[in-house]
Amino acid sequence: MAQRIKRRKCKHCKRLFLPDPRNANRQKYCLKPECRKASKASSQKRWLQKPENQDYFRGPDNVERVQLWRKAHPGYWRQKQKNTSCTLQDPLNQQLTENNDNRDDFMSHALQDSLTLQPAVLIGLIAQLTGYAL
């Protein structure tokens, strides 16, 4: 039987919220944008306080990596976003049907058409005997 999830107080805004059932034991912040930013800042601070992570982005290897990336992407931060008004899909072209000369043969043998040709008395008799109107 599933346990009922209790409301929890957000560490940032101090309001009660209902945590996500998949993450109920670990969720400490509500889903408001400002609380999510506070959650991110808190987790980054905790990560950087660990001794093994304090020099993670420092050193000659990372400096060289960043310099190479900047050479490969000059003016990256100055570029304006391209016009994204085009759609993701190409427009669908209307497909023309072929002209079938023998189309009359297929249409004359439809089941619905053959049922309407039956006399109403015979259909009523079958319906009385079987108990079904159709």
pLDDT in tens, 31-53: 999 999 999 999 999 999 999 88
* pTM over cut 0.85: no
Q: What is the mean pLDDT of residues 81-98?
A: 66
Whether 114 maps to a domain, the answer reads: no
pLDDT at 90: 67
Q: Kindly write down the DSSP assignment for every residue of 31-44, as one continuous string.
A: SSHHHHHHHHHHHH
4-30 CB burial, b ≥16 within 10 A, e <16: eeeebebebeeeebebeeeeeeebbbb
Hey, which residues does 8 pair with through a beta bridge? 17
Question: What 8-state DSSP symbol labels residue 76?
Answer: G
Q: Is residue 100 part of a domain?
A: no
The pLDDT of residue 54 is above 80: yes
Which pLDDT does position 113 carry in this prediction?
A: 57
> What residue numbers bound the domain in which 64 lies?
8-75
Helices (H), the chain: 33-49, 60-72, 103-108, 111-116, 120-130
| Residue 84 lies inside a defined structural domain of this protein | no
| Number of domains making up the chain | 1
